[in-house]
Structure 1
């Protein structure tokens, strides 16, 4: 068995257990939810254990309290298989009157919530877990800390050890714990296995409706081609028609994408809405992203060499990798990640906005002086649009790059930071 690699979520879970009776960890399959929960659980119930599944399902209806007996925190793994447990856990938390009683993990939203009568407000706390960031997997040096930047320490310094070939491999391998440390080909195969599992079975768990595997493949391919954009479902349908020779309507696209969201395969990014000096209209459509870039590469059947030979596509997939890592890091700072685009087509790839109102503006570029200069120019332009009489000034402006030797601060104040140097 592999040694456990510490996760940023470890400290979040510890803190949540001190303040709530039950914690729900959600996220895609294979991202490490159960393994992380087991580090703090004192007993465990595995609802998907094939040897006990039917018995556990019967007990969940006849005597659910029996399933909750055990040392605490008690882990209920894949709880959504028996949704009736939710209300029982909520009731038991009230009866015990103590914190840190249960950890629930799940890789899908329950398809049928009729048996859940209480939201869990006040008793439950929710945590979203994602595949590993480069800092968690050991591929980022962590010399530049987002927390330190928000604290005002902007004199960044760091050495990037990732070259273009290594970066292409990391995009296609993804942040799946099972892939970390494997030889090159087995590591790359993990994402293809994940894609196959989604297409053949996992997507059907979202709503209990069997879906056409070929349609799932075509929609996932189109999603991969359109990462980092705000295109509508009608455009995805047309893209599938033109590239995949398959007629599909907007409603079908919508239903399949909603299913992918319910099993945490895709995680779109909402728009940021700052106070501006001008009356520029802000576009509010979500930006399309997979939860991990390797799902996109597997969807298109491509590998690292293909990305090296198509730097435009590489840039889009690299952006998805950065968004994944920024989400992991921001979560530990009580922050969320947004995008910005207005009617003048001024864009900012990511905005990390913390609960206390602080925020940082980040443009993502694969590398190269021209692209870095372009990103810095956009950041300064957006900064100048923000009405600082109504909200704080940005804590930092950053161009987040893939290829580049060092982290440094430019004369205009914009930070240039390789993803291989960043941590939370």
Structure 2
């Protein structure tokens, strides 16, 4: 492994013998490579010379600019966006309800979930960073808040070296946190933060480039009806625990605020779906305001998902009705799934699958 940001040999060898930095057992991990972008081109040529796959793993905490990767590396590099750990990876989900199995038409039998509401809230507040696993909730909350302070004062400059106001960054992070899982537009965020639209666009771009904020784009497909799909994205953090940190909330605060807990839970489920499917997760809203919370393309077949923190029959019935009505607008037959915060997993008589997040898996 080569740590470009901490290895003292790197600056000297980049001028004297840069190719030697790529030598070693393969696959060779090159961490924070974007600090020395010439390594990208060196690796391209090394791959061409060796004609062997699996030579290098380039990782970085910042998305590179187009200038850094002027040569795309097509046919040589595959791009993978990493996620924080899911409940399946931390062992808090059994993975018994598999997205891949649902795409193949398999449906679950009745299964009980053992996760309590308080445990779910603590999981959402703790976050999925590997270093947080094993920490107390309070220590994890403190670590997340310190991380955001680092983002506001240092990391926000990383993509382009531009100095940005830490106070404004913190206000924008708080605004994103209040609006997590919603279609808050640029004007709403600008008014909330007290800056111009252009400033918000610039700051959002920087936060996206350092993998802090992530938009859930609107789905686009052909409909049977004359209804049209709206195009506004939903706002999320790369891990919803950052929303809790940005607002300096405690798990009890989340549990005592059902409306916000529902927003945060929807963002949490989108995080899990994105990791389990390894696909883009969309949302869909018609101009009639009929909407579904998440859409994932699985093997060419759309999975429509409604997210409900509660799991009582009337809550599930409402979600199932929404899915059925939305599905009737589509030209293809989708898989329909209601993800809940608790309760059992089962398949309804109408074929709609109901599953708590603690039973979901890839």
TM-score (norm 1): 0.82
Structure 2 Cα separation of the partners of residues 158 and 190 of structure 1? 35
CA-CA distance at 1:188 after TM superposition? 2.7
Local SS of the residue matching 2:163 = coil
Aligned residue in 1 for 2:295:
351
Match status 1:340 vs 2:340: no
Q: Which runs of 5+ in 1 are unaligned?
A: 1-43, 241-246
Deviations 1:182-202, CA, capped at 9 Å, x for gaps:
223223322212212211211
Structure 1 Cα separation of the partners of residues 340 and 240 of structure 2? 16
Aligned residue in 1 for 2:317:
373
CA-CA distance at 1:64 after TM superposition? 1.7
Structure 1 Cα separation of the partners of residues 206 and 68 of structure 2? 20
The number of residues matched between the two structures is 361
CA-CA distance at 1:348 after TM superposition? 0.6
Match status 1:249 vs 2:196: yes
Match status 1:227 vs 2:180: yes
Match status 1:47 vs 2:4: yes
Aligned residue in 1 for 2:244:
297
Structure 2 Cα separation of the partners of residues 133 and 373 of structure 1? 27
Structure 1 Cα separation of the partners of residues 15 and 41 of structure 2? 11
Q: Return closer, same or farther for 1:64/1:117 CA change in 2, 3 Å cut-off.
A: farther
Deviations 1:373-402, CA, capped at 9 Å, x for gaps:
2211110001111123xxxx11x2111010
CA-CA distance at 1:180 after TM superposition? 0.9
CA-CA distance at 1:297 after TM superposition? 0.4
CA-CA distance at 1:71 after TM superposition? 1.3
Match status 1:95 vs 2:52: no
TM-score (norm 2): 0.96
What RMSD in Å do the two structures reach over aligned CA positions?
Answer: 1.5
- Runs (4+) of structure 1 exceeding 6 A deviation are none
Matches within 5 A, 1:24-423: 44-49=1-6, 52=8, 55-110=9-64, 114=67, 116-240=69-193, 247-331=194-278, 335-354=279-298, 356-367=299-310, 368-388=312-332, 393-394=333-334, 396-404=335-343, 406-423=344-361
Deviations 1:344-373, CA, capped at 9 Å, x for gaps:
01111011103x311211100101333322
Structure 2 Cα separation of the partners of residues 140 and 115 of structure 1? 39
Local SS of the residue matching 1:75 = strand
Local SS of the residue matching 2:234 = coil
Local SS of the residue matching 2:79 = strand
Local SS of the residue matching 2:328 = helix
Local SS of the residue matching 1:267 = strand
Structure 2 Cα separation of the partners of residues 227 and 233 of structure 1? 14
Deviations 1:264-317, CA, capped at 9 Å, x for gaps:
111111111222111111111221111111100000110100011101000001
Local SS of the residue matching 1:385 = coil
Q: Which runs of 5+ in 2 are unaligned?
A: none
CA-CA distance at 1:162 after TM superposition? 1.4
Structure 2 Cα separation of the partners of residues 231 and 248 of structure 1? 15
Structure 2 Cα separation of the partners of residues 346 and 186 of structure 1? 41
Structure 1 Cα separation of the partners of residues 68 and 191 of structure 2? 39
